[in-house]
Amino acid sequence: MQYALLAYSPPEDTDRASRPIPGGLAPLLDRPDVTGWARLHADESATTLRNDDGRMLLTDGPFIDSKEYLAGLILIEADNLDRALAIAAEMLQETRPGTAIEVRPILDGRFRGA
């Protein structure tokens, strides 16, 4: 099965863009069961477009207004939820305290080779 791991990070002081991927996380992203990943700029950079009864509303900022922000998403292949959770747990070990990973099964999608 395919799963999307959505990583939510707590706010940070330093500039995210100038920081490298945490040392322990980089090799995990190279695992063969990771089929794709994206690291996102901080949520100040977000622009949200919303369909409001047919009118497209544009707002500055992320759609979900919370302390934590969506920092990245990782696509993985796993036999079942327990395997997916184990991979997510390994990655979570390498993140800052307060980080959370939401594990969502993928309904369908297409992953073009990078």
Partner 1 sequence: MALDAVFRDQWGRVLATLVGILGDIELAEDAAAEAFAIAAERWPRDGEPANPTGWLVATARNRAIDHLRRRQVLADKTTLLARDIETGLRPPEAFVDDSATIPDERLELIFTCCHPALALEAQVALTLRTLGGLSTDEIALAFLVPFETLSKRLTRAKHKIRNAGIPFAVPPDHQLPDRLAAVLAVVYLIFNQGWGGGRVDLAAEAIHLGRALAGLMPDEPEVLALLALMLLHDARKAARLRDGQIIQLDDQDRTLWDARQIDQGRELLRRAMAHGRSGPYLVQAAIADLHLHEPRDWGQIAALYRTLARQTGSPIVEMNLAVAVAAIDGPEAGLAILDGLDLDHYRYFHSTRAELLRRAGRDGEAHQAYRRALSAAQTEPEQRFLADRVAETAPSAVSEPRQAGA
Binding site for partner 1 (CB under 8 A): 1, 3, 78-82, 84-85, 103-105, 107
Q: Which is nearer to partner 1, 47 or 80 (CB)?
A: 80
For residue 69, with 0-12 CB atoms within 10 Å meaning exposed, 13-18 middle and 19 or more buried, which class applies? buried
Smallest distance from the beta carbon of 88 to partner 1, in angstroms? 12
Smallest distance from the beta carbon of 86 to partner 1, in angstroms? 9
Smallest distance from the beta carbon of 16 to partner 1, in angstroms? 30
Q: Which is nearer to partner 1, 107 or 114 (CB)?
A: 107
- 8 A C-beta contact, residue 11 and residue 67: yes
Q: Which is nearer to partner 1, 30 or 79 (CB)?
A: 79
Dihedral of CA 106/25/33/40: which sign?
A: positive
